[in-house]
Amino acid sequence: MRFLAIPTLIAALATTAAGVTPAGADDLLRDQAKKSFEPIPKTAPAIPGDPATEDKLALGRMLFFEPRLSDNHDISCASCHNLSLGGVDSGALSGGHNAQLAGREVQTVLNAIFNKSQYWDGRTSDLKDQVVNSVMANPKAMLKTRGGPMAINPVELSATKQRAIEELKSMPAYVEAFHKAFPEDANPLNYENVGRAIALFEATLITPDAPFDRWLTGDANALSDDQRDGLKLFIDKGCASCHNGVNVGGASYAKFGVVASPPPEYLPADDLGRFAVTRNVSDKYAFKVPSLRNVELTAPYFHSGATLELSKAVSVMAETQLGVKLGEDETRKLVAFLKSLTGRQPEVTLPILPPRSH
Amino acid sequence: MRFLAIPTLIAALATTAAGVTPAGADDLLRDQAKKSFEPIPKTAPAIPGDPATEDKLALGRMLFFEPRLSDNHDISCASCHNLSLGGVDSGALSGGHNAQLAGREVQTVLNAIFNKSQYWDGRTSDLKDQVVNSVMANPKAMLKTRGGPMAINPVELSATKQRAIEELKSMPAYVEAFHKAFPEDANPLNYENVGRAIALFEATLITPDAPFDRWLTGDANALSDDQRDGLKLFIDKGCASCHNGVNVGGASYAKFGVVASPPPEYLPADDLGRFAVTRNVSDKYAFKVPSLRNVELTAPYFHSGATLELSKAVSVMAETQLGVKLGEDETRKLVAFLKSLTGRQPEVTLPILPPRSH
């Protein structure tokens, strides 16, 4: 045991008296947390084999906001991945609110680069393939088909790809932008490069400096008492056994309903989840464990978008996945912890898109 | 007559030989143009009685991008007034492309502050009223009703207003932002102030430094020969008798079909235009003369969105309004001139919107 100087000791006692976790307990919890979690890095990660350049990122930003990639020229990546709203829509297009439009609930594009796979069923592993899959599918058709673009007729998909590329080729500013971004390609304007450019832009959409990350890297004051208690519950109750890593999720799959079956509005019977990708019976109703980064901003929750309330989502998860009935106070503290996962949102300036040439 | 030093004389002759308009003719055309047109100012104009502050502009920008002002939380001002695309949609929601959704074609929000009235029928005179009228109406209902929100049931309109305000009040960050923006109001979160904040933000969306403006203020090289010829045609043929002022339009009304009746797809019989506002028989099929600023970016054209081609729009206008059949070369030069009206687009950083509190 170390001896503390008197003023330090008084300060430590005063802190304890005020209800703040003593420094020793804080360090212990941090050591424990570091085994499960990593902070979001401060700078955008590289995509292996595809170094980011200013020209690629500028093009990627244009394409991310480009509605003329869609069949009706009315939907861009940014329509569903609204960067003013945590990288999701406001619940309007997806399952929970307007079931008639339902695909699955939009997953955020923020920190998506840190997920091990993309989509609720993990059907693409990297961002570029996700982009090619989503951009090139007809998002309207996608919205009508539970499960998304996989269900789309490949002939239609191919025709859509071709139209999107023709549309871009008709605008000289895009032809120039693709040549600048991919100087090594003789014919750079193709949908592989659309995917590369958008994926590189998306890899910049990260949210460092969340209170939890500041605490994890040593700032003892970054979390409130409730948030610290919530983190402890999050680890002790078992949430962290799936929701872990840099994205507090996004790294594995789990059946929705490990212990108890969720109500049908939470788990609609016709969406078989990862089974549609693997055809393994054990993957029926399994979904990617979603990242909980910025979860405060990404309501409604679950692949079904069945609830707008984070506290409800927490208690449903505890019951169905862990067989735990949470007390009101426990739920409140877990929600407080989850709100400490909201990071600094990326600052994005709208691109100016070229006019169509007529 | 002034004497020119030999080198100057040679330079002048060389310029003439190369086909560039001699300086004297350029000055003459500029003097003539200055009688009809004014450049877009370099800085945002003030709204009388409502000085812009940083807090008001920050709030206005948030509200401009806020989909939760709409009934289904899926449409914001920015959805139709896309600031990446000249302040309009890409033609997708409006008349020309998808007639089943038709209201009237979206008019750009860029430089709207310089218009004498707002909407194709001029039913509001200032931006604030336009905002209150549009934001608070249900944009989806508006799209289904030719002529826009005026046709909406006032009971529904009022209910929508109330819902939007309640939605904002549920988010503490908005309550704080309204108090900061309107410190003189005890209850600042009301739809009048929604309109004021958005209008002040919109007044910053101006596009100075178009080639035409640079030429008008003395830069002889800012216009190409074709553009200069096009300007001369624009004045000589009579286009400038309606399309004039700082916005090259936006200051008066004119019947669509002064000399000859436009085809029905250009002038659908069921949209009576300004008549719906004034009930004056002489206003039947009269519309606001639209601004031609950034017209290159704002296809499709006409209130009906009937064509994507600027050259087609020019020839239809010449025939129906002026009784002039343009030669191919004349049309080409007029289009070249119109493209000189594309100014520096505003640089807008996406706001980060607060989460809903659940």
Of the listed ranges A130-134, A242-246, B123-127, B350-354, the one predicted with least confidence:
A130-134
Of the listed ranges A139-143, A233-237, A270-274, the one predicted with least confidence:
A139-143
Q: Measured between alpha carbons, how far apart are the two ends of chain B, in Å? A: 80
Tell me the pLDDT tens digit for each residue of A219-264.
999 999 999 999 999 999 999 999 999 999 999 999 999 999 999 9
- Indicate if B180 and B260 belong to the same structural domain: no
User: Is residue A123 predicted with pLDDT exceeding 50?
Assistant: yes
**Domain end point (choices A175, A203, A231):** A203
Residue B151 burial by Cβ neighbours in a 10 Å radius (0-12, 13-18, 19+): middle
Which of B171, B340, B356 has the most A C-beta neighbours within 10 Å, making it the best mutation to test the interface with A? B356
pLDDT at A74: 80
Q: Is residue B85 part of a domain?
A: yes
Q: What is the CA radius of gyration of chain B?
A: 22
Contact B276, B142 (CB under 8 A): no
User: Is residue B97 predicted with pLDDT exceeding 80?
Assistant: no
Distance (Å, rounded) from C-alpha A205 to C-alpha A348?
9
Q: What token pair was written down for B61?
A: 């920008």
User: Is residue B10 predicted with pLDDT exceeding 50?
Assistant: no
Distance (Å, rounded) from C-alpha A120 to C-alpha A135?
17
pLDDT at A294: 97
Q: How many CB atoms lie within 10 A of CB A226?
A: 17
- Indicate if A76 and A197 belong to the same structural domain: yes
What secondary structure does DSSP assign to A57-105, as a single string?
HHHHHHHHT-GGGSTTS---HHHHS-TTTTTS--SSSSTTT-GGG-S-P
- Indicate if B179 and B226 belong to the same structural domain: no
pLDDT at B157: 54
- Tell which phi-psi region holds residue A131, choosing left (phi > 0), alpha (psi between -120 and 50) or beta: alpha
Distance (Å, rounded) from C-alpha B200 to C-alpha B195?
8
pLDDT at A158: 61
Distance (Å, rounded) from C-alpha A107 to C-alpha A104?
9
Tell me the pLDDT tens digit for each residue of A162-183.
888 999 999 999 999 999 999 9
Contact A134, A149 (CB under 8 A): yes
Percent of chain B with pLDDT over 90: 61
**Domain end point (choices B141, B172, B202):** B202
Q: Which of A317, A315, A255 is nearest to A121 (CA)?
A: A255
Confidence of residue B161 (pLDDT cuts 50, 70, 90): confident
Main-chain dihedrals φ then ψ at residue A192, nearest 5 degrees: -60, -45
Q: Is residue B4 part of a domain?
A: no
pLDDT at B104: 78
User: Is residue B7 predicted with pLDDT exceeding 50?
Assistant: no
Q: Is residue B100 part of a domain?
A: yes
pLDDT at B144: 43
User: Is residue A346 predicted with pLDDT exceeding 90?
Assistant: yes
Tell me the pLDDT tens digit for each residue of A29-53.
999 999 999 999 999 999 999 999 9
Tell me the pLDDT tens digit for each residue of A51-94.
999 999 999 999 999 988 887 788 889 988 999 999 998 765 44
Distance (Å, rounded) from C-alpha A244 to C-alpha A250?
8
- Rounded to the nearest 10 degrees, how much is the dihedral formed by the CA atoms of A213, A215, A216, A218? 130
Q: Is residue B219 part of a domain?
A: yes
Alpha helices in chain A (DSSP H): 6-17, 23-36, 54-64, 77-80, 127-136, 139-144, 154-169, 172-181, 191-203, 211-216, 225-236, 275-278, 310-317, 328-339
- Indicate if A74 and A163 belong to the same structural domain: yes
What are the b/e assignments for B115-128, b being 16+ CB within 10 Å? bbbbbbbbbbebbb
Contact B235, B33 (CB under 8 A): yes
Tell me the pLDDT tens digit for each residue of B318-346.
999 999 999 999 999 999 999 999 999 99
- Indicate if A191 and A175 belong to the same structural domain: yes
Task: Identify residue B194 by its one-letter amino acid code.
Answer: V
Of the listed ranges A182-196, B19-33, B141-155, B336-350, the one predicted with least confidence:
B141-155
Confidence of residue A15 (pLDDT cuts 50, 70, 90): very low
Tell me the pLDDT tens digit for each residue of A200-225.
999 999 999 999 999 999 999 999 99
Closest residue in B to A62 (Cα) is B84
Task: Identify residue A304 by its one-letter amino acid code.
Answer: S
- Indicate if B318 and B219 belong to the same structural domain: yes
Can you tell me the mean pLDDT for B255-276? Answer: 90
For B11, the enclosing helix (H) or strand (E) is helix B6-17
Tell me the pLDDT tens digit for each residue of B103-129.
678 889 999 999 988 888 877 878 888
User: Is residue A189 predicted with pLDDT exceeding 70?
Assistant: yes
C-beta atoms of A91 and B73 within 8 A? yes
Which residues of chain A make contact with B168, given a CB cutoff of 8 A?
none
Distance (Å, rounded) from C-alpha A220 to C-alpha A224?
9
- Indicate if B79 and B36 belong to the same structural domain: no
- Indicate if B150 and B267 belong to the same structural domain: no
Those residues whose C-beta lies under 8 Å from the C-beta of residue B328, and which sit 6 or more positions away, are: none
Q: Is residue A66 part of a domain?
A: yes
ipTM for the whole complex:
0.85
Give the structural domain span for B100.
54-202
Which residues of chain B make contact with A82, given a CB cutoff of 8 A?
67
Q: How many structural domains is chain B composed of?
A: 2
- Indicate if A198 and A286 belong to the same structural domain: no
Instruction: Supply the pTM of this predicted model.
Output: 0.87
Nearest CB to A345; choose among B90, B98, B352: B352
- Indicate if A230 and A185 belong to the same structural domain: no
User: Is residue B162 predicted with pLDDT exceeding 60?
Assistant: yes
Those residues whose C-beta lies under 8 Å from the C-beta of residue A42, and which sit 6 or more positions away, are: A208, A209
CATH no. for residue B224?
1.10.760.10
Which residues of chain A make contact with B85, given a CB cutoff of 8 A?
67, 353
Q: Which residues of A touch chain B, with CB atoms under 8 Å apart? A: 65, 67-68, 72-74, 82-86, 89-93, 97-98, 296-297, 299, 308-311, 345, 347-353, 355-356, 358
What average pLDDT does chain B have? 85
Q: Is residue A108 part of a domain?
A: yes
Percent of chain A with pLDDT over 90: 62
- Indicate if B197 and B211 belong to the same structural domain: no
Can you tell me the mean pLDDT for A274-282? Answer: 87
* B134 against B2, higher pLDDT: B134
Q: How many CB atoms lie within 10 A of CB A134?
A: 21
Residue B215 burial by Cβ neighbours in a 10 Å radius (0-12, 13-18, 19+): buried
For B181, the enclosing helix (H) or strand (E) is helix B172-181
Q: Is residue A97 part of a domain?
A: yes
Query: Which positions of B are annotated as active-site residues?
Result: 156
Q: Is residue A11 part of a domain?
A: no
pLDDT at A22: 66
Kindly name the residue from A156, A167, A265, A296 that is annotated as catalytic: A156
**Is residue A156 flagged as an active site residue?**
yes
- Indicate if B62 and B193 belong to the same structural domain: yes
Those residues whose C-beta lies under 8 Å from the C-beta of residue A45, and which sit 6 or more positions away, are: A113, A114, A203, A206
